[in-house]
Amino acid sequence: MKRTIYFKNKPIIVGAGSIAGPKESEGSIAKFIETKMQDDTFGEDSFEKAESKMLFNAIKTAIQHAKKQENEIDAIIAGDLLNQIISSTFAARNFRTGYLGVYNACATFSEALTVGATMIDGGYLKNVICATSSHFASAERQYRYPLELGCTRPPQAQWTVTGAGACVISSEGYGPKITASTIGKVVDFGVIDANNMGAAMAPAAMDTLFTHFNETGLTPSDYDLIITGDLGTLGSRIFKDLMWEKGFDIEKQHVDCGELIYNICESEYQGGSGAGCSALVFSSYIYKRLKEKKFKKIIMMATGALLSTVSTQQGESIPAIAHAVVVES
């Protein structure tokens, strides 16, 4: 049983768009982010509407950078964290193109890239958009407590990123190429603390990366970066320890989007999380560095905790997943 796909035609990422909230726009990758919001509402009367508008903005920006017209886009593959993925669905209703809604929690961006690249590589579509978003306030309202309640956060908690990212994948053009993808499997190590998602997701990241190395015969030194989506500080440490136990030292190559996006010494606890976390970092900092040939070969591995408010209230443990996508400049 194989979980790694090799793309013979190497689908090309011809354009990308990114947007971030005020807090995220002050972080270490701020200069690479295109649209910086002045406030978390983005001119809307609810945080949910703001998130949908953010995703719409990222998609429009990606289309512009790809030098495409809207009618050239065959499908939008998008997802988010809200119930019934309403941010993505409501953003997609503003476009006259096909739409596939996807969900793998914070691993959704890598899932979208895998689905999009497969469709392009198979010759079924010519241009697709892969996009995800998240918003701190809308996620808090759904998964934890409304901001108005003023609840304190435990030290193991992460901060949901207010941001969105979108990429246009095409069968022709110029840009970084998607060459392979290793599909993740659901892994559950029995973590039940909904505030400690990094610990829940780290085993899934280990399983996918270990599988990728086994099936491809490659090693960490074959990559400039091994990027996880939102393990955060604690989760990243656990992930690297687990890989070490499997015989792979990834200390030099590993970076985490959740750590990159914030200044950890401030008050973000373990760093960032959210479906928009990996999308924002990839569509801004990583994509631009790939285009500049600063990075030649990377693994983009978004990580997701597959919990819900219902499963948490019923005392269920937290299953997790991670999908690895190989991108070369």
**Tokens of residue 9, six digits:** 């035609």
Q: Is the pLDDT of residue 107 over 70?
A: yes
User: Where residue 54 falls among pLDDT bands split at 50, 70, 90?
Assistant: very high
What is the dotted CATH code of the domain comprising 177-328?
3.40.47.40
Please state which of the four CATH numbers 3.40.47.40, 3.20.20.70, 3.30.750.24, 3.40.50.2000 is assigned to the domain occupying 6-170.
3.40.47.40
The domain segmentation of the chain, as residue ranges, is 6-170, 177-328
Mean pLDDT value of segment 230-255: 95
pLDDT of residue 248: 98
pLDDT digits (tens, 9 = 90+) for 194-240: 888 899 999 999 999 999 999 999 999 999 999 999 998 889 999 99
pTM of the model: 0.94
Q: Is the pLDDT of residue 268 over 60?
A: no
- CA–chain centroid gap for 288, Å, is 16
Mean pLDDT value of segment 167-185: 98
Residue bearing tokens 């807090």 = 23
Q: Is the pLDDT of residue 311 over 80?
A: yes
**Residue 247: CB atoms within 10 Å:** 9
What is the chain's mean pLDDT, rounded?
92
pLDDT digits (tens, 9 = 90+) for 138-165: 777 777 666 565 566 665 667 788 999 9
**Within this chain, domains 6-170 and 177-328 share the same CATH topology:** yes
CB-based contacts of 187-195 (< 8 A; 24+ apart in sequence): 187/319, 187/320, 187/321, 188/317, 188/318, 188/319, 188/320, 189/317, 190/317, 191/317, 191/318, 192/315, 192/316, 192/317, 192/318, 193/156, 194/143, 194/307, 194/312, 194/318, 195/153, 195/154, 195/156, 195/157
pLDDT of residue 249: 98
Mean pLDDT value of segment 65-69: 96
